[in-house]
Chain A
Amino acid sequence: MVTAYLAAGIAILITMALGLTRALLGPTVFDRILAVNMFGTKAVLLVSVFAYFSGRPDFLDIALLYSLLNFVGVIAALRLVERGKHFANPKESCYEPHGEKR
Chain B
Amino acid sequence: MTEWVATVFIIVGCLLGVTGGIGLLRLPDLYSRLHAVSVTDTLCSFLILSGLALESGVSLASVKLLFIFLFLVFTSPTSSFAVANGAWQWGLRPAPSGPDTQENTSQ
Contact = CB atoms under 8 A, between A and B. Distances in A.
Complex A–B touching at CB under 8 A: yes
A51 B30 CA distance: 33
A41 B68 contact: no
A44 B22 contact: no
A75 B99 CA distance: 36
B45 A45 contact: yes
Contacts of A8: 10-11, 13-14, 48
Contacts of A74: 79, 82-83
Contacts of B95: 95, 99
Contacts of A61: 64
B24 A38 contact: yes
Instruction: Describe B's contact surface by its main secondary structure.
Output: helix
Nearest to B98: A97
A18 B20 CA distance: 9
A93 B91 CA distance: 6
A31 B34 CA distance: 9
Contacts, number: 164
B3 A99 contact: no
B37 interface: yes
B2 to A, nearest CB: 11
Contact of B11 (A4, A34, A81): A4
A64 B71 contact: yes
A78 B82 contact: yes
B55 A34 contact: no
A1 B54 CA distance: 12
Contact of A11 (B3, B18, B55, B94): B18
A45 B52 CA distance: 10
Interface in A33-85: 33-35, 37-38, 41-42, 44-45, 48-49, 51-52, 57, 60-61, 63-64, 67-68, 70-71, 74-75, 78, 81-82
9 contacts: A1-B7, A15-B17, A18-B21, A33-B83, A41-B72, A71-B78, A78-B86, A93-B90, A99-B29
